[in-house]
Amino acid sequence: MTRLAWLALSLMLSTTLAAADGISSEREQELHNLLIQDCGSCHGLQMKGGLGPALLPELLQGKNVDYLSTVILHGRSGTAMPPWSPLLSPEEARWIAERLLQGVAQ
């Protein structure tokens, strides 16, 4: 019985760890699609730039997740970059920032 309880607890823990950022895998799929298709409509589907600047990892060196997620959430005034906070949570913006720094796989 105790064993079972431990098993259940460890299972719960591992589930919690997997979703440490609180984003379900289904939502990650949606975010990935948003990153490629909607961020891509200005930055290019391959993040090589368009009306907005290129966002390739080598060009983002020196910029961290905090900075990038702040720009995503609040936009850049005086530019066409809009604030995404009405559509994305801070955790989701961080998830996108991490993907950008890693390089967006096609």
Using CB under 8 A as the binding rule, whether residue 29 contacts another protein is answered as no
Which residue lies nearer to another protein by CB, 10 or 46?
A: 46
One character per residue 79-98, x = contact with another protein (rule: CB under 8 A): -x-xxx-xx-----------
Using CB under 8 A as the binding rule, whether residue 103 contacts another protein is answered as no
Give the separation between CA 62 and CA 57, rounded to whole angstroms: 10
Number of residues in the chain: 106
Which residue lies nearer to another protein by CB, 73 or 97?
A: 73
In whole angstroms, how close is the CB of 5 to another protein at the nearest point? 43
By CB under 8 A, the residues from 32 to 71 that bind another protein are 33-34, 36-38, 40-42, 44-46, 48-51
* H or E, element range at 42: helix 40-43
Q: Which two tokens stand for residue 34?
A: 């948003």
**Which residue has tokens 């993907």?**
99
Q: Which two tokens stand for residue 87?
A: 């559509």
**Which residue has tokens 């913006």?**
93
**Which residue has tokens 């950008």?**
100
- Residues binding another protein (CB under 8 A): 33-34, 36-38, 40-42, 44-46, 48-51, 75, 80, 82-84, 86-87
